[in-house]
Amino acid sequence: MKKLFLPLFCLILIHCKKSEAHSLNSNLVNVVQEDKLIAIDSSAVALKSPVVDASIRFPSEKTISEQTTAISKKIIKNGDLKIQVGDIKKAQDQVSSIVKSNKAYIQKEEFQNNDNEENTDLTIRVPHQNFDALVNSFSDGVGSVLSKNISSDDVTEEYTDVSIKLANKKIYLEKYRDMLKSAKTTKDILEIQENIRELEDEIDVSEGRLRFIDDRVNYSTLNLSLYKEKVRTSATSKVGFGSRFGDSVTEGWNSFVAFLLGVISLWPFFLLIPVAVFLWRKWRNRKKK
């Protein structure tokens, strides 16, 4: 009887250890699969494995919903404005004064000057509550508006979705950290650490996206272009007849040189002319014979 009892006891002990290991692996798989859910219920995230402390409680779906409903409207405003002015320098001084009075700042500035026009392109960031006042100030007091385009983009839904997923990821991150404290085997420790690393990377990306949206919402963007056309006429220009006559002569010479260079660039085709004449004469002689 004793001989039979000892093997039976060993089999029961081995079976218990296998059941415990299988339970731990199943719980790890379930946690990874549940990470795809948007809302979490406390009964769904509780693990049956003794690895996690039973006293740990996680926010329910109602708690997360209450947190996200508090998100206000997220509206991104952008604008493009092109203004024709008589004096670029004077217009820039006016723009600087208007920007300062509306608590805005110039993020980027580009200047171009050629024979026909002058252009100054400005990228202005302004608090969203001052955006309309800034646009109206430019439209009324700087010059003649050539084009105007204002757009509003509602990103509340995207912001809410990212916020919910971020909250869920943080919950699972804490769960994995608690599991790591109670993990027994090296395999379990490595698997949990890998999940923690992936979650931390995803959390960083989500937080960066939320910061970007907040920046675009809090500060609107206006692309302002100051344009001045250079016109030479006898009534408005101070340039005399002699200067304009000289400009005309120079322009004519430049056109002739450009034409001559264009003809010279076709020299390979000129080499085909003697060949074409030779073939034509040869064909004509054959036809006569």
Which pLDDT tens digit goes with each residue over 187-198?
989 999 999 999
Mean of all residue pLDDT scores within the chain = 76
| Per-residue pLDDT band at 183 (split at 50, 70, 90) | confident
Q: Convert the pLDDT of each residue in 79-119 to its tens digit.
A: 999 998 888 888 888 899 999 999 999 999 998 888 778 88
Q: Please say whether the beta carbons of 127 and 218 come within 8 A.
A: yes
pLDDT of 151 > 80? The answer is yes
Amino acid identity of 157?
Answer: E
Residue 75 has a CB neighbour count (10 Å cut-off) of: 14
Q: Convert the pLDDT of each residue in 26-64 to its tens digit.
A: 444 343 344 433 333 333 333 333 344 434 444 444 444
pLDDT of 17 > 90? The answer is no
pLDDT of 182 > 50? The answer is yes
First to last CA, the chain: 130
Q: Please say whether the beta carbons of 75 and 128 come within 8 A.
A: yes
Residue 121 has a CB neighbour count (10 Å cut-off) of: 15
pTM over 0.75: no
| Per-residue pLDDT band at 282 (split at 50, 70, 90) | confident
